[in-house]
Amino acid sequence: MSETPAENVKPSYRSDVTVDLVKHTAGDSDVLWAARVSTAGEQSLDELSKDPERSKGLINYLMRDRHGSPFEHNSMTFFISAPIFVFREFMRHRVGWSYNEESGRYRRLDPVFYVPD
């Protein structure tokens, strides 16, 4: 990697946090299946297409009453751009998810400074 003189580096200043969904690999049916498997076993797959309104109601119930484990059957990837103090809180409160960071060891990182509005 070639060195860039410091005078050619232009810092950027920002006051926002961005969160972009990169990909997802599951849908409502996975949540419904996971929620119903405890009461219907393998037959819960048959329930998925029977009554869409009932399924919508179940998802709303799970969310409202904080039954979160069926939602863990989804997988999502986000690209998040935020100040370092936000990321430290992500890492501190990490439960059930992983993260990667850009590394100055493998690429040149441009200086970005967070300036509150």
pLDDT digits (tens, 9 = 90+) for 24-53: 887 888 888 888 876 666 666 677 677 778
Asked if 42 and 56 sit in the same domain, the reply is: yes
pLDDT digits (tens, 9 = 90+) for 48-92: 677 778 888 988 999 999 888 888 777 778 888 888 888 888 888
Q: What is the pTM of this model?
A: 0.53
Q: What pLDDT was estimated at residue 7?
A: 65
Range of the domain at 57: 27-74
Q: What pLDDT was estimated at residue 61?
A: 92
Q: How far apart, in Å, are the Cα atoms of 90 and each of 39, 80, 86, 95?
A: 34, 11, 6, 9
Q: Per the structure, how many domains does the chain have?
A: 2
Distance, in Å, from the CA atom of 115 to the CA atom of 29, rounded to the nearest integer, reads 42
Asked if 68 and 40 sit in the same domain, the reply is: yes
